[in-house]
């Protein structure tokens, strides 16, 4: 079964276009390194909870939008190899990645799927 990386990020609304450009570039590199699919989604119908919610998870402030994103990999080994290659490319370029958000507030993790349902094709 596949492997999934998941992310939640708070992005200042003023940086929306910068984030989208970064995502297009970086996500294409993940596909090149073996990712099967990468999805980036802006918040649309995300409620504020009484105890927990996505906004609190990333300490989102007024004027920030949320990104919910995931990358699907064929397996963890492919993902681990891709991450090593991508980190090496960034190190060799000598340029800091210009991220339009506070990376310290991003939450992320790798997940092993246990159920994957799809609607059969018509």
Q: What pLDDT, on the 0 to 100 scale, is given for residue 60? A: 98
Q: What pLDDT, on the 0 to 100 scale, is given for residue 59? A: 98
Q: What pLDDT, on the 0 to 100 scale, is given for residue 122? A: 86
Residue in the structure block whose two tokens are 């993790």: 109
- 25 within a domain of the structure (yes/no): yes
- 19 within a domain of the structure (yes/no): yes
Q: What number is the average pLDDT over the span 48-62?
A: 97
Q: How confident is the model at residue 90 (pLDDT cuts 50, 70, 90)?
A: confident
Tally of domains within the chain = 1
Q: Is the pLDDT of residue 97 over 80?
A: no
- 27 within a domain of the structure (yes/no): yes
What's the chain's average pLDDT? 95
Instruction: Say if residues 111 and 3 touch (Cβ distance below 8 Å).
Output: yes
Q: At what angle do helices 76-93 and 16-32 cross, to 10 degrees?
A: 120
- 59 within a domain of the structure (yes/no): yes
- 118 within a domain of the structure (yes/no): no
Q: How confident is the model at residue 24 (pLDDT cuts 50, 70, 90)?
A: very high
- 41 within a domain of the structure (yes/no): yes
Q: What is the CATH number of the domain that holds 47?
A: 3.30.70.100
**Domain carrying residue 10:** 3-92+104-111
């Amino acid at each position: 079964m596949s492997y999934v990386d998941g992310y939640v990020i708070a992005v200042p609304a003023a940086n929306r276009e910068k984030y989208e450009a970064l995502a297009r570039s970086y996500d294409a590199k993940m596909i090149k390194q073996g990712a099967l699919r990468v999805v980036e989604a802006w918040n649309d119908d995300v409620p504020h909870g009484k105890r927990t919610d996505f906004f609190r998870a990333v300490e989102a402030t007024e004027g920030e939008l949320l990104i919910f994103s995931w990358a699907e990999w064929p397996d963890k080994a492919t993902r681990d190899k891709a991450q090593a290659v991508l980190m090496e490319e960034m190190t060799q370029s000598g340029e800091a990645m210009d991220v339009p958000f506070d990376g310290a507030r991003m939450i992320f993790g790798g997940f092993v799927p246990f159920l994957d349902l799809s609607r059969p094709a018509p």
